[in-house]
Structure 1
Amino acid sequence: MAARELASFAALLADETRAGFCLALLDGRAWTAGELARSAGVAASTASEHLGKLIAGGLLAEERQGRHRYVRLADARVAHLVEELAAYAGEGPGGAAPRGLRAVNAQAALARGRTCYDHLAGRLGIAITEAMVGRGLLMTDSGVALSGQGVAWFGELGISLEGRGRRPIVRTCLDWTERKPHLAGVAGAGLCRHAMDTGWVERVGSGRAVRVTGAGERVLAAALGIAAESLR
């Protein structure tokens, strides 16, 4: 990529409002322009201008349903890029401390467990990833890959590992709060979806934060040996 193209692409995120939009969309859902404008505290016209740049630059995709216009992150690669940039930018420990009780509680909830686009992150995501490595389900000796036992484990849970496009079956994503890798790729997305569908995990409010339910604690303890206390 030419230097000019790289600089142009980087400029898309070199704005606090546009960066905030991308971070909000890491919850994996489609938002309206109005919702994003309110989340960033900007006027609708300002939000529309910024969204136009992000869509034109390929970071966001637009969907229309009747009179409503929705935007979402273009794909998993964009989510991975945003999450890793947040980690390098010091969003987690060592970054700016949140101000006010509400902000502190919100940050604590995100650090405990959250969705990173379509997979699990935070201490929850790290605990699952490390437990999978410890149980021999995930191999990290040379890169990262599922072992035969790991493939069988996903099969037993009824989670499909069929890839979509060029997305890898398994990869890791640098967690911005824990500064450790958590499971992503097709396997990570499938596990997150299964955890939500079966009620192991539930969302906290309307944001990205999630928490493990009592049923989830029992399943994760039995399947991966994860202590319930570490998930709270």
Structure 2
Amino acid sequence: MGQHNISSVAHLIAEPVRSVMLITLADGSALSASALAEAAGVTAQTASSHLSKLLDGGLLSVESKGRHRYYRLAGVHVSHLLESLASVGPVTPAWRNTPSRSAQALRFARCCYDHLAGQIGVAVTQSMLTQGFIAEAGERQYALTAPGCEWLQQLGIDMGDPAFDQTDHARQCLDWTERQYHVAGQLGARLMDAFLAWGWMCRSPTTRAVTVTTLGWDGLKKHFGIERYACGPD
């Protein structure tokens, strides 16, 4: 990417209203202009102007359903860009010393586009590494091992599915709150889908936060060795 393109993208993301809109969509959702205006605390007219710039800059896509238009990130690469930028930024004293309940919830567990992030996301990844289910494999990649494939099949996640992309099956994503990697790619997405389907976790209707259920804590302890007291809010 040339210098001009980098500066253009940086300018788009740096604007506070646009950054809020992008972060709001970082869980992979599609929202209306009015919902994004409310999230950013601006008028519908102001939101429309910012959304147009984000569309022109290739950071958002839009789909029409009847008379309504819904905006989403242009792809998982945009979510990774946002997480990477957040991870290299300074940790503010407010976040480090007296985080709000909403900030605590996001740090504990959240959606990073289509996969799990936060303390729980990192803990799940570390557990899979320790158990030998995945292994580091080159720059920003994990390799799914033979024991890992067998283990996932026992959990009902079939690696033989033609939809499973072996070229992007287990990517390292730098967690912006923990400053460690969590698993992304197809494997990360499959795990997130499974955790939600099994009732282990619930997504917040208003933020990217994810809540672990009682059933989820049992499952996390059994399969990943993650204790309830080990991470996250009380």
Distance in 2 between the 1:160 and 1:74 partners? 28
The structure-2 alpha-carbon separation of the partners of 1:42 and 1:73, relative to structure 1 and needing over 3 Å to count, comes to: same
The 5 Å alignment of 1:119-130 reads 119-130=115-126
* Structure 1 counterpart SS, 2:230: helix
The 5 Å alignment of 1:9-28 reads 9-28=9-28
Question: What is the CA distance between 1:23 and its match in structure 2?
Answer: 0.6
The 5 Å alignment of 1:1-232 reads 1-90=1-90, 94-95=91-92, 97=94, 104-140=100-136, 142-143=138-139, 144-161=142-159, 162=162, 168-232=168-232
The structure-2 alpha-carbon separation of the partners of 1:167 and 1:89, relative to structure 1 and needing over 3 Å to count, comes to: farther
Residues paired across the two proteins, number: 226
* AA aligned opposite 1:212: V
* AA aligned opposite 1:86: A
Contact 2:33 2:47 in 1 (8 A): yes
* AA aligned opposite 1:177: T
Q: Percent identity?
A: 41
Structure 2: tracts of 5 or more residues without a match? none
* Structure 1 counterpart SS, 2:78: helix
* AA aligned opposite 2:18: R
Contact 1:163 1:186 in 2 (8 A): no
* AA aligned opposite 2:121: G
Q: Normalization by structure 2: what TM-score?
A: 0.90
* AA aligned opposite 2:55: I
The structure-2 alpha-carbon separation of the partners of 1:89 and 1:58, relative to structure 1 and needing over 3 Å to count, comes to: same
Structure 1: tracts of 5 or more residues without a match? none
Question: What is the CA distance between 1:165 and its match in structure 2?
Answer: 7.2
Distance in 1 between the 2:218 and 2:165 partners? 35
Distance in 1 between the 2:169 and 2:82 partners? 20
RMSD (CA atoms): 2.0
Distance in 2 between the 1:153 and 1:25 partners? 32
Question: What is the CA distance between 1:56 and its match in structure 2?
Answer: 1.5
The structure-2 alpha-carbon separation of the partners of 1:209 and 1:37, relative to structure 1 and needing over 3 Å to count, comes to: same
* AA aligned opposite 2:150: A
Q: Normalization by structure 1: what TM-score?
A: 0.90
Greater displacement, 176-185 / 140-149: 140-149
* Structure 1 counterpart SS, 2:216: helix
